[in-house]
Chain A
Amino acid sequence: MGLIDLNVIVNTIWIGLIYSLMAIPLTISYKVTRVLNFAHTSLITVGAYVAVILSLVYPSLFSNIFLALVVSFFAGSVVAILNHKLVYRRLMDKEASPVILMIASLGSWIFLKYLIYSIISVVSKAIKKDLYFAVPNFNYTFNLNFLGVSNPAFAYSLVLGLSLVAFTFLIFYKTSFGKAMRAVADNPQLAQISGISDESVMTLTWLLSGGLAAVSGVFWAMFSYASPEFADSLVLQVFAACVIGGISSISLTIFGGFIIAGAENILMTILYTLVGLDLSFRPFLSFLTLLIVILVRPPAGAAGGLPYRLKLRRRESKWTS
């Protein structure tokens, strides 16, 4: 393929995979708990930093990716569950509306963000290493040659990432916990009646989604680097991926992740080589894609109120007239 460079394709796959991994937990937690969780970004950052710091401080032990992944998974889960128990649960008990929950998550996002800042400022003083821009110190024991591109980090991300996605699907569709989650997601009251404890399901959900978010952060650190801000500058793309998936279906969310990654890489390349569009328009393209997807084909659950959905065409003509 003359037009599209191989690196572009690799980037698309790699970034798309990471976007999906970041977006899936957001979708899951929203589906089950109805919280549009802004603190999600903090979870991602926490995960990335736990892995990075451990691999820098105890290289003997945590230069092993799997160990680092496991630890940061649980770190993320703990933070998420604490956040749920201390904030969301109490608000839900007070019958707070979803928007209130969202703003609360905004609050805990701000808090966690600067907590992370404080922690890494202290740690980086202590270990005399720059943590504001840090790459994990993993040793990659195996490598695979993909499309003639051999990059161990990519190999690891691909294998581990895909297996994680599979693992999520397994949990979500094959285990009783997954069934319970979906039941609560579809209809909390009914689930309650049928004896599924709302609270335990939510806790487990946070455990899962918090952990996944954290792990996705580690993947990002492997791909690029960890900084206190990277998750914030990714959050809009991640939200976009979720929205394309209608914040309801996992597979569609993955699709959305790759769509966004594709827009940022492949579409960018095409426009750049054909039209000479400036590279600084890259974020522009991802949002443009999102808008087009939403407006042309409203994803499941995103469609408008009943009368509009039923009478789209005529309504538009009315509108333009």
Chain B
Amino acid sequence: MSVREGSVTGLIGPNGSGKTTLFNVISGFYPPDSGEVYFMGNKITGLNPNEIYNLGVIRTFQNPRLFPRLTVLENLLVAAGSRGERVTSSIAKRNWVDGEAKLVKKAYEIAKSVGLEGVERNIASDVSGAHMKLIETARSLMNSPKVLLVDEPAAGISYSAAKNLFNYLLKLKEDYGITLFIIEHRIDILMDYVDYVYVLHLGKLLSQGTPEEVLSDKKVREAYIGD
């Protein structure tokens, strides 16, 4: 299966169908049992997560892995990767102050736009679960990704919030030409946004196509009614 550049691709399937596992494999989290992963023509199988991240393939976690004792803002900034993160340059402030200032501004903007306004200064472990999800997503946007693997961004947040989260993601796609690859349980929302869908079932590719095709596919229906 492949994800076209600049597309919004959805990945759906009943629980335990291996959606997240697929993400784990792509993002270098697990080595694949078989097969290869290619990114823009070159093989990225078996690279370390950090290397894959720095290639621009960025994933979010289904249940957020934040840095609990850091503030929300710092959580975002860690993802950004400023110049001051090298020991040598971190000592002299002037090396990184300006870049840092920019990043902070950016962080504030992103936080605002994903709907994290006002909590930036809280300690990450103190914010609500819905906010944590948003932080997880926001964090993945900090480092101007090429491909975004979003794992259930709308889980546990209100319908409207989910709506404008997706709107924002789409806007990003338009602005920066990010390719989106989204796992989502709430198909009702998802289908309005994606232009191509893969359906996994028990680790196998069950069906694929445009939303309409997939929804009309009865194998998919069975699968969903099945569980």
A interface vs B, CB < 8 Å? 306-307, 310-311, 314
Contacts and interface: CB of A to CB of B under 8 A. Distances in A.
A201 to B, nearest CB: 27
A307 B28 CA distance: 9
B49 A307 contact: yes
B69 to A, nearest CB: 11
Contacts of B30: 310
Contacts of A311: 31, 46, 48
A306 B31 CA distance: 12
Nearest to A306: B29
10 contacts: A306-B29, A307-B29, A307-B48, A307-B49, A310-B30, A310-B31, A311-B31, A311-B46, A311-B48, A314-B46
Given A307-B29, A310-B31, 8 more contacts: A306-B29, A307-B48, A307-B49, A310-B30, A311-B31, A311-B46, A311-B48, A314-B46
Contacts of A314: 46
Interface string B17-32: 0000000000001110
Interface in B24-50: 29-31, 46, 48-49
Contacts of A310: 30-31
A311 B24 CA distance: 14
A306 B49 CA distance: 11
B131 to A, nearest CB: 22
Contacts of B46: 311, 314
Contacts of B48: 307, 311
- With most chain A CB atoms within 10 A of its CB, the pick from B31, B46, B48 is B48
Interface string B49-92: 10000000000000000000000000000000000000000000
Interface residues of B, number: 6
A314 B30 CA distance: 13
A314 B31 CA distance: 11
Contacts of A306: 29
A311 B32 CA distance: 12
Contacts of B49: 307
A307 B49 CA distance: 8
A309 to B, nearest CB: 11
Contacts of B31: 310-311
Contacts of B29: 306-307
A85 to B, nearest CB: 29
A35 B30 CA distance: 33
B32 to A, nearest CB: 11
A170 B156 CA distance: 46
A306 B46 CA distance: 14
A311 B30 CA distance: 9
A315 B158 CA distance: 42
A99 B46 CA distance: 35
A306 B29 CA distance: 8
A103 B48 CA distance: 36
B43 to A, nearest CB: 14
Nearest to A315: B48
B74 to A, nearest CB: 20
B47 to A, nearest CB: 10
B25 to A, nearest CB: 11
A314 B45 CA distance: 13
A306 B65 CA distance: 14
Q: Tell which of A306, A311, A314 has the most Cβ of chain B within 10 Å.
A: A311
A320 to B, nearest CB: 16
A232 B48 CA distance: 43
A122 B30 CA distance: 63
Nearest to A314: B46
B28 to A, nearest CB: 8
A311 B46 CA distance: 9
Nearest to A311: B31
A274 to B, nearest CB: 43
Nearest to B50: A307
A307 B46 CA distance: 11
A303 to B, nearest CB: 16
A94 to B, nearest CB: 16
A314 to B, nearest CB: 7
Contacts of A307: 29, 48-49
B123 to A, nearest CB: 14
7 closest A-B pairs by beta carbon, nearest first, are: A307-B49, A310-B31, A310-B30, A307-B48, A311-B31, A314-B46, A307-B29
A306 B48 CA distance: 12
A204 B108 CA distance: 52
A310 B49 CA distance: 12
B6 to A, nearest CB: 30
A314 B47 CA distance: 10
A307 B29 CA distance: 7
A69 B49 CA distance: 56
A221 B44 CA distance: 62
